[in-house]
Amino acid sequence: MAKPKYTTHLGMVDILPDESPKWRALEQIIHEEAAKFNFEEIRTPIMEQTELIVRGIGQLTDIVSKEIFAFKKGDSHYVLRPELTAPVVRAFVEHHMQQRGGSQKLYYIGPMFRAEKPQKGRQRQFHQFGVEIIGSDDPVADVECISFMMQIYKRIGIKNFELKLNSVGDPESREAYKEALRDFLKPNLDKMSELSQKRFEKNPMRILDSKEEEDQEFIKKAPVIQDYLNDESKEHFERVTNYLSELGIDYTLDPYLVRGMDYYTRTAFELTSPDLGSQDALAGGGRYDLLVEEIGGQDTPAVGFAAGMERLMIACEELDINLAEEKSVDVYFVTLGDEARNWALSHLPKVREAGLSATMDYMSRSMKAQMKDANRENALYTIIVGGNELQEGKFTLRNMKESEEASLEFEAIVEKLTQKLL
């Protein structure tokens, strides 16, 4: 086939009709489970002010320094949202959502944009679903967030994963830890990767996330943050782990888990799957108690997570999980001649009004070709309409699976189909 003149941008993917039912099924599951948790949906614009994203996520993070799609139009600096935590917090502050009372338990589904090098499970436009609980300091909020995340995978049937858990402490604990980390790494810094040397002064904790070979032996022996948590952070973390154990949610403590955004405080977590290959993170999240204030709101604690939907789809494929039923249409009108076509067109709405799906041939094909098309469309029934049928006022209803036929008046056909299919 000839190469098309226009294609999608690198790392941006069309979701074609064969795939979209899976996406709708997944979205449906997320909406249903969110309703059970009493989470409310929030939808924010695809574009945000660059300044919000830089401030919210952190100037030195990979996302901001390398991966944002940003452009200027007039005097405004736009960025395609790389994630939704900062935008949701922006909306919370902008609309004074604290006035709604209680903590805001928000969820979302939508596309995000990061200019990363595409590979399996890593795209430039990808989709996340996630939750942000804003206004609660209580470990219950952390655990509800994690429970919701786990519930989605559980309902779908993805069980093979690991929940990694850490506390990255509050600012006080973190300062003490960063100092200890610098003291430990300094004597060997010249043996470490260039990137780690760069991170050493401003953000030594990010060194723990390094994938560079030469850094690993030092990371392995580095001090762990747990030994530097102050009493408050320690107690919060203990309560989170206790609640998880009570709920029977397994987790692995990973003292070197640091996340890719600067806003995290205290609880941090990631869900990884061995079915995903190198991009193995299904989801990730944590607390961000300082972010609301950082972007202009009042001091308000918060916690959330986001999950990659393409990665969830890949896991489903690996595990042979079908999210959507095979597509089908209830009724296909097969017609012979113009009069029959007109009749079918005017009777389609009556079938649809009865709550059934119905279609007909749009291409003036032969009856044989229409029957073939009805099979391709996986039609459960065909209604066969020709000159004789129109004269008699009785039409052939064919059950395509059973290959059974009956000759009935149109009203009787609709009644029979409604009883059988609804």
Q: Answer yes or no: are the C-beta atoms of 58 and 258 closer than 8 Å.
A: no
d(Cα 83, Cα 64) in Å, to the nearest integer?
11
For the CB of residue 278, give the shortest distance to ligand HAM in the complex, in Å. 12
Rg (CA), the chain: 28
List the 76-80 sheet strands across, edge first. 47-49, 76-80, 70-73
d(Cα 248, Cα 239) in Å, to the nearest integer?
14
For the CB of residue 188, give the shortest distance to ligand HAM in the complex, in Å. 29
Amino acid occupying residue 138: D
For the CB of residue 151, give the shortest distance to ligand HAM in the complex, in Å. 16
Q: Name the residue number minimizing CB distance to ligand HAM.
A: 308
* Residue (56 or 389) nearer to ligand HAM, CB: 56
* Residue (136 or 370) nearer to ligand HAM, CB: 136
d(Cα 68, Cα 122) in Å, to the nearest integer?
15
For the CB of residue 303, give the shortest distance to ligand HAM in the complex, in Å. 7
d(Cα 280, Cα 273) in Å, to the nearest integer?
5
* Residue (126 or 410) nearer to ligand HAM, CB: 126
For the CB of residue 84, give the shortest distance to ligand HAM in the complex, in Å. 6
* Residue (144 or 310) nearer to ligand HAM, CB: 310
For the CB of residue 263, give the shortest distance to ligand HAM in the complex, in Å. 8
Contacts to ligand HAM by CB under 6 A: 83, 85, 114, 116, 121-123, 126, 128, 130, 132, 260, 281-286, 288, 304-308, 310-311
Closest CA to 312 of 153, 155, 163: 153
Question: Which residue in this structure is represented by tokens 């679903």?
Answer: 129
* Residue (113 or 332) nearer to ligand HAM, CB: 113
Q: E strands of 278-321, at which residues?
A: 281-287, 302-308
> Distances in Å between the alpha carbon of 323 and those of 22, 108, 357?
5, 20, 21
Q: At 382, list the tokens.
A: 């065909």
> Distances in Å between the alpha carbon of 130 and those of 202, 252, 306?
29, 22, 4
For the CB of residue 127, give the shortest distance to ligand HAM in the complex, in Å. 8
* Residue (168 or 380) nearer to ligand HAM, CB: 168
Q: At 139, list the tokens.
A: 């470990």
Closest CA to 303 of 159, 152, 168, 178: 168
* Residue (204 or 286) nearer to ligand HAM, CB: 286
For the CB of residue 281, give the shortest distance to ligand HAM in the complex, in Å. 4
Exposure b/e, 277-295, CB count within 10 A at least 16 = b: eebbbbbbbbbbbbbbeeb
For the CB of residue 50, give the shortest distance to ligand HAM in the complex, in Å. 17
For the CB of residue 272, give the shortest distance to ligand HAM in the complex, in Å. 8
For the CB of residue 292, give the shortest distance to ligand HAM in the complex, in Å. 12
* Residue (58 or 304) nearer to ligand HAM, CB: 304
Amino acid occupying residue 257: L
* Residue (263 or 410) nearer to ligand HAM, CB: 263
Closest CA to 69 of 108, 112, 121: 112
Alpha carbon 183 to its chain centroid, in Å, reads: 40
* Residue (41 or 183) nearer to ligand HAM, CB: 41
The DSSP call for residue 172 is H
Q: Which helix (H) or strand (E) holds 73?
A: strand 70-73
d(Cα 268, Cα 253) in Å, to the nearest integer?
10
d(Cα 249, Cα 145) in Å, to the nearest integer?
12
* Residue (126 or 395) nearer to ligand HAM, CB: 126
